[in-house]
Amino acid sequence: MAALASSAAAARNVFFRRASAANARQRRRAMPVVAAAADKPILYDVPVSNNGARCRLIMYWKRLEDAVEIRDPGTIGGLKSEEYLALNPQGKMPLLVLPDGLALPESEVISRYLCDAHADVGPSLLPAESPERRAVCALATRVHDQYVVPIQGVMYRGPMPIEQRAEGIAAIAKQLDVIEGVMKIYADEGPFVAGAEPSTADAALFPTYIFMDHCLTRHFGWRDGVFRDRPESERWWCAMRADTCGARVYDEVKGGLEKWEDAGRFETVGVTEHVKDGSFTWAY
């Protein structure tokens, strides 16, 4: 048991650790790009990333563009490079690296950190009125992170079995209805998830809805869009589109999706061929 505990402790120390002086020196030798911007945090991200856009939207709302530098993961070799995996062994983005070397992966972790670290700047984005309001924000975020993000790739990745893609699209339709139910809770105070003011929950949902609005209507035959019979979600969507920072994120993500279109991504990954098979349901 002692050996197992020792091994577990060693494993914990490998990942996401704050660098010791020796480790920091080693990282500076291996990753000069990271060390070069030690005066402020670096957010590793790309415009089309919906998870990264969640963090960028919080940055824009809180006016943190000058406080955080955004870099493409390619500047240190890409998501699967040794340099990047030393910072985030999951090999995913976004990733926030603080000036002292602490690496923070996962979009919700980064979002919460930005709100806490810059609580005195811009809007709070963390509802303070009541625990119930904060719980509704947490619920919307949880549904998104737990039930939408893991399957969103069925809209744009491949190859994969056609059954998997069809089941994923059906599951996305179900979660749109679940989120519509959450949107109704404070709809009288709206237009945002928790009422009159935006929150981290709105930042979590909006970039993914940009993906769904684009992919499902253009490639899966949702001719009435993703908001049919979802009036509260549609009202929220319109408010987010009208918001200056929301519009900025929309343009960033949408621009990335249009580049995918130009590159023929949806044909390459098998979406176009799958949707031709009418024995499966694609539009909801």
User: Is the same domain home to 192 and 222?
Assistant: yes
CATH number at residue 186: 1.20.1050.10
Residues spanned by the domain of 87: 14-117
User: Is the same domain home to 147 and 255?
Assistant: yes
| CA neighbor of 212 nearest in space, from 204, 201, 220 | 220
Average pLDDT of the chain to the nearest whole number? 90
User: Is the same domain home to 143 and 257?
Assistant: yes
Q: What is the pLDDT along the chain (284 residues), one digit of tens a residue?
A: 444 444 444 444 444 444 443 444 444 333 334 444 459 999 999 999 999 999 999 999 999 999 999 999 999 999 999 999 999 999 999 999 999 999 999 999 999 999 999 999 999 999 887 999 999 999 999 999 999 999 999 999 999 999 999 999 999 999 999 999 999 999 999 899 999 999 999 999 999 999 999 999 999 999 999 999 999 999 999 999 999 999 999 999 999 999 999 999 999 999 999 999 999 999 99
This prediction's pTM: 0.87
User: Is the same domain home to 43 and 176?
Assistant: no
Burial class (CB in 10 A: 0-12, 13-18, 19+), 254: middle
Does residue 201 fall inside a structural domain? yes
Distance in angstroms (rounded) separating the CA atoms of residues 217 and 211: 10
Does residue 271 fall inside a structural domain? yes
Number of domains comprising the chain? 2
Does residue 91 fall inside a structural domain? yes
3-state secondary structure of 192: strand
Does residue 281 fall inside a structural domain? no
| CA neighbor of 203 nearest in space, from 91, 90, 75, 114 | 114
Instruction: Report the pLDDT value the prediction gives residue 27, as an integer from 0 to 100.
Output: 44
Does residue 2 fall inside a structural domain? no
